[in-house]
Chain A
Amino acid sequence: MTAAAYAVPSILVFVTAALLILVGALGVISVKNPVHAALSLIMTLFGVAVAFVAQSADFLAAVQIIVYAGAIVVLFLFVIMFLGVDRNMSVSVEPLVGQRAFAASGVVITVAGLITLMATSHWVSGATSVSGAALASGSGNVKQLGTAVFTTYLFAFEATAALLIIAVVGAVLLARRERHVTPEEVTP
């Protein structure tokens, strides 16, 4: 089946998402200033959200924007501002000789293998699950997702609650400035 058989709007949406994702990702790994890298990361996250909407994962697209762009990137920017920007960390300096070449060759081999696998496999060509109801398109599957999270994956959902509490306590302990308590200070 050639590309002309697909609807033009879906191709346009895919190209838009791909441009946002790839340009943002290349910006993250190439710019010198960490603030610009965080802003490029936002661009990539919006592109991924566009790809989610195009594949009828509406709830996840909203969560992507709210949690990633709204919370995680803001946390990154907060830490960058808090620590002060390392402007002297040059991109052109290569600390280990040949590191970039090794990394590039490894990544190229991995990605080429993945692309070959994904472009030639037949398990991406429409075999549907038999374990549950068919996935509704559009915003109809938000209800399905909620039902799945609160029934099938209830234990994992409760475990994420514990995980988030542990992460918050750990972050507070790590970021806390240690006070040196002398014996005179702890008089009853």
Chain B
Amino acid sequence: MNVPAAWYLILAALLFGIGAFGFLTRRSALIMFMCIELMLNAVTLTFVTFSRTMSDIAGQASVFFVMVVAAAEVTVGLGIVVAVFRRRSSTSVDELSELKG
């Protein structure tokens, strides 16, 4: 018998927490993107766990679409990082403060 679903859900919650903490505290745009990937992976792990628990394929189909959106997001995000780096020679998000009120 497989381990209970709650174990995987708690693991996913911990992974999401680590990703959120990194996103809130790191200042490099590249590391922040990696933390977004960590949070997305926590959510996909939750989807797959519920797909097994509820015996429903819809969870796995959702993970499929989450992966596509993650790939598109990383493509555009890294394009923005490259464009910002051309002007600033830095990927620190603290230096992007023109819109500060």
Contacts and interface: CB of A to CB of B under 8 A. Distances in A.
A75 B25 contact: no
Interface residues of A, number: 91
A21 B15 contact: yes
B31 A57 contact: no
Contacts of B64: 60, 63, 145, 149
B25 A29 contact: yes
Main secondary structure of the interface of A (DSSP, over half): helix
A103 B31 contact: no
Contacts of A22: 11, 14-15, 18
Contact of A170 (B55, B74, B76): B76
A14 B8 contact: yes
Contact of B9 (A28, A59, A103, A118): A118
B27 A95 contact: yes
Contacts of A111: 13-14, 16-17
B17 A129 contact: no
A45 B48 contact: no
B18 A26 contact: yes
Nearest to B68: A160
Interface residues of B, number: 74
A188 interface: no
B61 A148 contact: yes
A82 B27 contact: no
A177 B57 contact: no
B98 interface: no
Interface string A109-142: 0110011001100001011110110110000010
B26 A29 contact: yes
Given A21-B15, A25-B15, A135 B55 contact: yes
Interface of B: 1-11, 13-22, 24-28, 30-31, 33-35, 37-38, 41, 44-45, 48-58, 60-61, 63-65, 67-76, 78-83, 85-86, 90-92, 94
Shortest beta-carbon contacts, A-B, top 9: A29-B22, A174-B79, A129-B56, A167-B72, A103-B24, A111-B17, A171-B79, A114-B13, A118-B9
Given A52-B45, A135-B57, 7 more contacts: A1-B4, A75-B74, A76-B30, A83-B85, A124-B4, A128-B54, A152-B61
